[in-house]
Amino acid sequence: MMGRSKLQVKITAALLLVICAGVAPAQTKSPSVAPAELVRKTVQNEVKAATDDSVRYMFRSRKETPRGTQTKLYVQTRDAMVGLLIALNDKPLTPEQRQAEESRVERLLKNPAELQHKRKQEKDDEERTTRIMKALPDAFLYQYDGTETGKQGVGAPGDELVRLKFRSNPNYDPPSRVEQVLAGMQGVLLIDANRNRMAKIDGTLFRDIGFGWGILGHLDKGGHFLVEQTSVPENGWEISHMNLNFTGKIMMFKRLTIRSDEVYSDFRPVPRNLTFAQGFALLKKQEALLAENHVSGNTR
Protein backbone atom coordinates (compact mmCIF):
# COMPACT_ATOMS: atom_id res chain seq x y z
CA MET A 1 0.00 0.00 0.00
CA MET A 2 1.57 3.26 -1.10
CA GLY A 3 -0.07 5.44 1.55
CA ARG A 4 1.86 3.89 4.40
CA SER A 5 5.13 3.80 2.52
CA LYS A 6 7.23 6.37 4.37
CA LEU A 7 6.76 4.58 7.66
CA GLN A 8 7.37 1.30 5.89
CA VAL A 9 10.67 2.70 4.60
CA LYS A 10 11.67 3.50 8.17
CA ILE A 11 10.62 0.11 9.45
CA THR A 12 12.46 -1.62 6.64
CA ALA A 13 15.71 0.27 7.27
CA ALA A 14 15.52 -0.68 10.92
CA LEU A 15 14.48 -4.31 10.52
CA LEU A 16 17.24 -4.94 7.99
CA LEU A 17 19.71 -3.98 10.72
CA VAL A 18 18.40 -5.57 13.94
CA ILE A 19 15.45 -6.76 16.04
CA CYS A 20 15.40 -6.45 19.82
CA ALA A 21 17.05 -6.37 23.31
CA GLY A 22 16.06 -6.75 26.98
CA VAL A 23 13.84 -4.98 29.49
CA ALA A 24 13.35 -5.48 33.23
CA PRO A 25 11.58 -8.71 34.31
CA ALA A 26 8.14 -8.73 35.86
CA GLN A 27 5.88 -11.23 37.56
CA THR A 28 3.10 -12.64 35.43
CA LYS A 29 1.02 -15.68 34.71
CA SER A 30 2.04 -17.96 31.83
CA PRO A 31 -0.41 -17.57 28.91
CA SER A 32 -1.92 -20.75 27.54
CA VAL A 33 -0.83 -20.11 23.95
CA ALA A 34 2.76 -21.02 23.08
CA PRO A 35 4.97 -17.93 22.62
CA ALA A 36 5.96 -18.92 19.07
CA GLU A 37 2.28 -19.21 18.16
CA LEU A 38 1.56 -15.77 19.64
CA VAL A 39 4.36 -14.31 17.50
CA ARG A 40 3.06 -16.10 14.42
CA LYS A 41 -0.48 -14.76 14.90
CA THR A 42 0.87 -11.27 15.58
CA VAL A 43 3.07 -11.31 12.49
CA GLN A 44 0.14 -12.44 10.35
CA ASN A 45 -1.93 -9.56 11.67
CA GLU A 46 0.87 -7.01 11.20
CA VAL A 47 1.34 -8.10 7.58
CA LYS A 48 -2.41 -7.84 6.99
CA ALA A 49 -2.53 -4.39 8.61
CA ALA A 50 0.30 -3.15 6.37
CA THR A 51 -1.94 -3.64 3.32
CA ASP A 52 -5.00 -2.01 4.91
CA ASP A 53 -5.57 1.40 3.32
CA SER A 54 -8.95 2.08 4.93
CA VAL A 55 -7.47 4.89 7.06
CA ARG A 56 -4.60 7.24 6.26
CA TYR A 57 -2.90 9.81 8.47
CA MET A 58 -1.10 13.11 8.61
CA PHE A 59 1.58 13.27 11.33
CA ARG A 60 4.74 14.98 12.52
CA SER A 61 8.29 13.66 12.83
CA ARG A 62 11.29 15.01 14.75
CA LYS A 63 14.56 13.27 13.91
CA GLU A 64 17.82 13.84 15.78
CA THR A 65 21.22 12.80 14.42
CA PRO A 66 24.81 13.91 15.16
CA ARG A 67 24.28 16.60 12.50
CA GLY A 68 21.29 18.17 14.25
CA THR A 69 17.51 17.85 14.15
CA GLN A 70 14.90 17.89 11.40
CA THR A 71 11.17 18.35 11.92
CA LYS A 72 8.87 17.23 9.11
CA LEU A 73 5.19 16.90 8.36
CA TYR A 74 4.02 13.79 6.52
CA VAL A 75 0.75 12.69 4.99
CA GLN A 76 -0.17 9.29 3.57
CA THR A 77 -1.90 9.51 0.18
CA ARG A 78 -3.17 7.06 -2.39
CA ASP A 79 -0.19 7.90 -4.62
CA ALA A 80 2.75 7.99 -2.18
CA MET A 81 3.87 9.53 1.10
CA VAL A 82 4.30 13.32 1.00
CA GLY A 83 6.90 14.83 3.33
CA LEU A 84 7.61 18.50 4.01
CA LEU A 85 10.53 19.82 6.08
CA ILE A 86 9.32 22.59 8.44
CA ALA A 87 12.20 23.13 10.92
CA LEU A 88 15.96 22.65 11.28
CA ASN A 89 17.48 22.38 14.76
CA ASP A 90 14.04 23.28 16.16
CA LYS A 91 14.01 26.61 14.30
CA PRO A 92 11.52 27.45 11.51
CA LEU A 93 12.90 27.46 7.98
CA THR A 94 14.01 30.72 6.43
CA PRO A 95 11.94 31.93 3.44
CA GLU A 96 14.71 30.67 1.13
CA GLN A 97 14.78 27.23 2.77
CA ARG A 98 10.99 26.98 2.65
CA GLN A 99 10.92 27.83 -1.04
CA ALA A 100 13.59 25.24 -1.80
CA GLU A 101 11.67 22.57 0.12
CA GLU A 102 8.38 23.33 -1.63
CA SER A 103 10.16 23.32 -5.00
CA ARG A 104 11.50 19.83 -4.22
CA VAL A 105 7.99 18.47 -3.71
CA GLU A 106 6.60 20.37 -6.70
CA ARG A 107 9.17 18.66 -8.94
CA LEU A 108 7.54 15.34 -8.07
CA LEU A 109 4.14 16.74 -9.03
CA LYS A 110 5.44 18.01 -12.37
CA ASN A 111 7.40 14.87 -13.22
CA PRO A 112 5.21 11.73 -13.38
CA ALA A 113 8.23 9.51 -14.03
CA GLU A 114 9.92 10.76 -10.85
CA LEU A 115 6.76 10.18 -8.82
CA GLN A 116 6.44 6.71 -10.33
CA HIS A 117 10.04 5.98 -9.30
CA LYS A 118 9.22 7.09 -5.75
CA ARG A 119 6.19 4.78 -5.67
CA LYS A 120 8.32 1.85 -6.87
CA GLN A 121 10.94 2.45 -4.18
CA GLU A 122 8.26 2.54 -1.53
CA LYS A 123 6.69 -0.67 -2.81
CA ASP A 124 10.07 -2.42 -2.84
CA ASP A 125 10.67 -1.35 0.77
CA GLU A 126 7.23 -2.62 1.78
CA GLU A 127 7.99 -6.00 0.24
CA ARG A 128 11.32 -6.28 2.08
CA THR A 129 9.59 -5.35 5.34
CA THR A 130 7.02 -8.09 4.76
CA ARG A 131 9.78 -10.65 4.18
CA ILE A 132 11.47 -9.68 7.45
CA MET A 133 8.20 -9.82 9.37
CA LYS A 134 7.26 -13.21 7.96
CA ALA A 135 10.66 -14.60 9.01
CA LEU A 136 10.31 -13.66 12.70
CA PRO A 137 8.38 -16.75 13.90
CA ASP A 138 11.03 -19.13 12.52
CA ALA A 139 14.19 -17.04 12.94
CA PHE A 140 13.99 -16.90 16.76
CA LEU A 141 13.25 -19.00 19.81
CA TYR A 142 10.86 -17.30 22.24
CA GLN A 143 9.96 -17.49 25.92
CA TYR A 144 7.54 -15.55 28.11
CA ASP A 145 9.11 -12.90 30.34
CA GLY A 146 6.24 -11.15 32.10
CA THR A 147 3.95 -8.29 31.21
CA GLU A 148 4.03 -4.51 31.01
CA THR A 149 1.31 -1.87 30.86
CA GLY A 150 0.81 0.09 27.66
CA LYS A 151 1.55 3.81 27.89
CA GLN A 152 1.61 6.87 25.69
CA GLY A 153 3.60 5.92 22.60
CA VAL A 154 3.83 2.21 23.43
CA GLY A 155 0.77 0.09 22.66
CA ALA A 156 -2.63 1.26 23.89
CA PRO A 157 -2.30 3.18 27.20
CA GLY A 158 -3.47 1.05 30.13
CA ASP A 159 -3.67 -2.23 28.22
CA GLU A 160 -1.59 -5.27 29.20
CA LEU A 161 1.35 -6.12 26.94
CA VAL A 162 3.00 -9.53 26.89
CA ARG A 163 6.81 -9.51 26.99
CA LEU A 164 8.73 -12.19 25.12
CA LYS A 165 12.47 -12.78 25.25
CA PHE A 166 13.96 -14.19 22.08
CA ARG A 167 17.26 -15.48 20.76
CA SER A 168 18.32 -16.61 17.32
CA ASN A 169 17.22 -20.07 16.22
CA PRO A 170 20.34 -22.13 15.38
CA ASN A 171 18.29 -24.21 12.93
CA TYR A 172 17.08 -21.20 10.95
CA ASP A 173 18.52 -20.99 7.42
CA PRO A 174 18.03 -17.46 5.99
CA PRO A 175 16.65 -17.75 2.43
CA SER A 176 18.41 -14.54 1.29
CA ARG A 177 20.61 -11.65 2.43
CA VAL A 178 17.47 -9.80 3.50
CA GLU A 179 16.84 -12.28 6.32
CA GLN A 180 20.53 -12.97 7.03
CA VAL A 181 20.77 -10.20 9.64
CA LEU A 182 18.26 -12.02 11.87
CA ALA A 183 20.89 -14.62 12.76
CA GLY A 184 22.71 -12.09 14.95
CA MET A 185 19.81 -10.84 17.06
CA GLN A 186 18.46 -11.39 20.53
CA GLY A 187 16.11 -9.34 22.63
CA VAL A 188 12.53 -8.68 23.66
CA LEU A 189 9.17 -8.10 21.99
CA LEU A 190 6.18 -6.42 23.61
CA ILE A 191 2.92 -7.70 22.12
CA ASP A 192 -0.68 -6.68 22.62
CA ALA A 193 -2.07 -10.22 22.70
CA ASN A 194 -5.70 -9.07 22.45
CA ARG A 195 -5.12 -7.13 19.25
CA ASN A 196 -2.15 -9.19 18.00
CA ARG A 197 -0.02 -6.08 17.45
CA MET A 198 3.65 -5.42 18.23
CA ALA A 199 4.05 -2.53 20.68
CA LYS A 200 7.82 -2.51 21.07
CA ILE A 201 10.98 -4.09 19.68
CA ASP A 202 14.13 -3.29 21.64
CA GLY A 203 17.25 -5.13 20.65
CA THR A 204 20.98 -5.59 20.37
CA LEU A 205 23.34 -7.41 18.03
CA PHE A 206 25.08 -10.09 20.08
CA ARG A 207 27.76 -10.66 17.43
CA ASP A 208 29.15 -9.11 14.26
CA ILE A 209 26.89 -9.67 11.26
CA GLY A 210 28.45 -9.97 7.82
CA PHE A 211 26.71 -9.47 4.48
CA GLY A 212 27.74 -11.35 1.38
CA TRP A 213 30.14 -13.54 3.39
CA GLY A 214 31.65 -10.36 4.79
CA ILE A 215 32.67 -9.07 1.38
CA LEU A 216 29.84 -6.53 1.10
CA GLY A 217 30.28 -5.39 4.69
CA HIS A 218 29.28 -6.03 8.28
CA LEU A 219 27.56 -4.57 11.33
CA ASP A 220 29.47 -4.53 14.63
CA LYS A 221 28.45 -6.44 17.73
CA GLY A 222 26.56 -4.25 20.22
CA GLY A 223 24.52 -2.29 17.71
CA HIS A 224 21.17 -1.24 19.17
CA PHE A 225 17.72 -0.97 17.65
CA LEU A 226 14.43 0.27 19.14
CA VAL A 227 11.02 0.63 17.53
CA GLU A 228 7.84 1.52 19.43
CA GLN A 229 4.34 1.36 17.99
CA THR A 230 1.18 2.89 19.42
CA SER A 231 -2.57 2.98 18.91
CA VAL A 232 -3.81 6.03 16.98
CA PRO A 233 -7.29 7.38 16.09
CA GLU A 234 -9.68 5.24 14.01
CA ASN A 235 -8.33 2.01 15.58
CA GLY A 236 -5.00 2.30 13.78
CA TRP A 237 -1.45 1.51 14.93
CA GLU A 238 1.58 3.48 13.78
CA ILE A 239 5.27 3.81 14.61
CA SER A 240 5.77 6.36 17.42
CA HIS A 241 9.51 6.13 18.10
CA MET A 242 12.60 4.65 16.47
CA ASN A 243 16.18 4.72 17.69
CA LEU A 244 19.16 3.31 15.74
CA ASN A 245 22.76 3.08 16.92
CA PHE A 246 25.06 0.97 14.73
CA THR A 247 28.59 0.88 13.44
CA GLY A 248 30.18 -1.33 10.81
CA LYS A 249 31.84 -1.32 7.40
CA ILE A 250 30.69 -1.30 3.78
CA MET A 251 32.71 -3.14 1.12
CA MET A 252 35.29 -4.02 3.83
CA PHE A 253 36.86 -0.55 4.05
CA LYS A 254 34.26 2.24 4.20
CA ARG A 255 33.21 2.94 7.79
CA LEU A 256 29.49 2.85 8.52
CA THR A 257 27.92 4.82 11.39
CA ILE A 258 24.16 5.05 11.93
CA ARG A 259 22.91 7.11 14.86
CA SER A 260 19.42 8.58 14.87
CA ASP A 261 16.46 9.06 17.17
CA GLU A 262 13.08 9.81 15.60
CA VAL A 263 9.72 10.49 17.26
CA TYR A 264 6.41 10.42 15.35
CA SER A 265 3.40 12.24 16.83
CA ASP A 266 0.12 14.10 16.25
CA PHE A 267 -1.52 11.44 14.06
CA ARG A 268 -4.70 12.73 12.40
CA PRO A 269 -6.91 10.83 9.94
CA VAL A 270 -7.13 12.25 6.43
CA PRO A 271 -9.43 11.41 3.49
CA ARG A 272 -8.72 7.95 2.13
CA ASN A 273 -8.58 9.02 -1.53
CA LEU A 274 -6.25 11.98 -0.95
CA THR A 275 -4.01 12.56 -3.98
CA PHE A 276 -0.32 13.52 -3.81
CA ALA A 277 -1.16 17.09 -4.85
CA GLN A 278 -3.94 17.35 -2.27
CA GLY A 279 -1.62 15.95 0.39
CA PHE A 280 1.00 18.58 -0.45
CA ALA A 281 -1.61 21.34 -0.18
CA LEU A 282 -2.75 19.95 3.18
CA LEU A 283 0.83 19.95 4.53
CA LYS A 284 1.39 23.56 3.44
CA LYS A 285 -1.84 24.55 5.18
CA GLN A 286 -0.77 22.72 8.34
CA GLU A 287 2.68 24.33 8.21
CA ALA A 288 1.11 27.79 8.00
CA LEU A 289 -1.15 26.99 10.95
CA LEU A 290 1.78 25.80 13.05
CA ALA A 291 3.77 28.94 12.13
CA GLU A 292 0.83 31.14 13.11
CA ASN A 293 0.44 29.36 16.45
CA HIS A 294 4.20 29.66 17.05
CA VAL A 295 4.09 33.41 16.45
CA SER A 296 1.00 33.80 18.63
CA GLY A 297 2.64 31.82 21.40
CA ASN A 298 5.74 34.00 21.30
CA THR A 299 3.69 37.20 21.63
CA ARG A 300 1.89 36.18 24.79
Contact at 8 Å (CB) between 90 and 69?
yes
d(CA 281, CA 270): 13
CA distance 27 to 150: 16
Report CA torsion sign: 54, 59, 62, 65. Answer: positive
Cα–Cα distance between 40 and 163 in angstroms, integer?
15
Alpha-carbon distance 27 to 147, whole Å? 7
Q: DSSP state, 274?
A: -
Q: What's the pLDDT at 55?
A: 93
| Nearest alpha carbon to residue 64 among 220, 257, 263, 223 | 263
pLDDT at 212: 58
For 7, list phi and psi in degrees, rounded to 5: -65, -40
Residue 12 is predicted with a pLDDT of: 47
Residue-level pLDDT at 137: 93
Q: Where are the domains of the chain?
A: 2-298
pLDDT of 80: 93
Q: How far is CA 36 from CA 49, 143, 175, 230, 259, in A?
A: 20, 8, 20, 22, 31
Element counts in the chain: helices (H) and strands (E): 6, 13
> pLDDT 10s digit of each residue in the chain, 300 long?
444 444 444 544 454 443 333 333 333 445 678 999 999 999 999 999 988 888 999 999 999 999 999 999 999 999 999 999 999 999 999 999 999 999 999 999 999 999 999 889 988 888 888 888 898 999 999 999 999 999 999 999 999 999 999 998 989 888 877 777 777 889 999 999 999 999 998 888 888 877 654 556 778 888 888 899 999 999 999 999 999 988 888 766 788 888 999 999 999 999 999 999 999 999 999 998 888 776 555 544
φ and ψ of 70, to 5 deg: -130, 135
SS3 per residue for 1-67 = CHHHHHHHHHHHHHHCCCCCCCCCCCCCCCCCCCHHHHHHHHHHHHHHHHCCCCCEEEEEEEEEECC
pTM, to two decimals: 0.82
